[in-house]
Amino acid sequence: MWLLWIILILILTLILIGYFFLLRYFFRFALDPGLKTDIGMVGKGTKYEPEVTIGYQWLHDHDKERYTTISFDGLTLHGHFFPAENAKRTILFFHGWRGGWDKDFAPFITWFHKNNCHLLLVEERAQGNSTGKYMGMGILERKDVLTWLSFYQKEKGPSLGSLPIYLMGVSMGASTVLMSAGEELPKQVKGIIADCGFSNPYEMFKNYGKRIFHIPEFPLLFHLNHLCKRKISFSLKDYSVEQAMETCELPILFIHGAADTFVLPSMTEKNYQRCHSKKSILVIDEAEHCMSFLVGKEAYTQALKQFFCENDTDFS
């Protein structure tokens, strides 16, 4: 009998050790960009790769101004500003989870520039050249949106800083700009463009844990949230897009790919339903995560033109 007990204890010990290492890996995979992954440029390995590569190269070769600013909690944030001739508006871009300013926006950045938009592409906290150890899944980054808006308006002064401003994000960047709508934004901000954003970080990781790691919400999310509180001082339940949508007064263009299996289209639908401000939604058939512009370019650009026409009345 005692031998059986020893075997059971050993098995339980091995299970607990395995779970502990799985939890630590999931935490680092979810929030620590220092853990290297093979997530690359949007469209890589698809028929759209040559088109995206042109945009990627344009971002690196085109004349730009490099900016830094300090976040509310003391991090150094980096950004890249591309002025446009005869600009009618400014777009602030926020990239996704484990993405990059040059990877996530390569598919469509030249379209915005050709259509009279100043471009400010932000490097999110803890990613790229911006400092910080952990990502905040939009909960912390929403405050960085306010920092960049304040910085931009002070840097550019009355002439450029008074142009209509739009916030645009993809994936986690979309959730970031949507969450920022719950904050008090400058009056120059005329709208938000959210491409394939999730509704809240907790649900995102719950779904991901089930699909990828095949572990139910409890105990994985309970312990993941505990690690977030201990290491990053915030909870995955501290804030959500759904909460921001309850008080949002800005027009929002929601976009999602119908074939997205990473951030489910139902999350954008939930965000859309919770939004009480002026809103529109575009769903692109057969588009996977962050691929809507490439797959449905005509519908995507038409939706952008209409959005600008309705909200700053100076689209050309």
272 and 170 in a single domain? The answer is: yes
Regarding whether 189 and 268 lie in a shared domain, the answer is yes
* pLDDT tens figures, 207-228: 877 777 677 777 888 888 998 9
Amino acid, res. 141: E
In a domain, 36, yes or no: no
CA nearest to 137, candidates 195, 203, 189, 182 = 203
Least confident of 1-10, 193-202, 231-240, 267-276: 1-10
CA distances 311 to 161, 251, 314, Å, are 17, 8, 9
One domain, residues 134 and 229: no
Q: Domain count for the chain, please give it.
A: 2
To which residue do tokens 């779904």 refer? 207
* pLDDT, mean over the chain: 91
The helix (H) or strand (E) run that includes residue 94 is strand 89-94
Instruction: Give yes or no for residue 303 having a pLDDT over 80.
Output: yes
Whether residue 244 is found in the same domain as residue 165: yes
Q: Are residues 115 and 16 in the same domain?
A: no
Whether residue 243 is found in the same domain as residue 231: no
Q: Is the domain of 154 the same as that of 209?
A: no
Q: Which domain does 216 fall in, by range?
A: 1-31+201-235
> Do residues 210 and 285 both lie within one domain?
no
Is residue 52 a part of any domain in this protein? yes
**217 and 275 together in one domain:** no
Out of 37-41, 80-84, 182-186, 286-290, pick the least confident: 37-41
Could you tell me what percent of the chain has a pLDDT over 90?
Answer: 71
Q: Answer whether residue 42 is part of any domain.
A: no
Using CB atoms within 10 A of its CB, is residue 43 exposed (0-12), middle (13-18) or buried (19+)?
buried
Is the pLDDT confidence value at 187 over 70? Answer: yes
In a domain, 41, yes or no: no
Is the pLDDT reported for residue 117 higher than 60?
A: yes
* 75 occurs within a structural domain: yes
Residues 18 and 61 in one domain: no
Question: How far is the C-alpha of 34 from the C-alpha of 232, rounded, in Å?
Answer: 15
The string of pLDDT tens digits covering residues 137-169 is 999 999 999 999 999 999 887 666 678 999 999
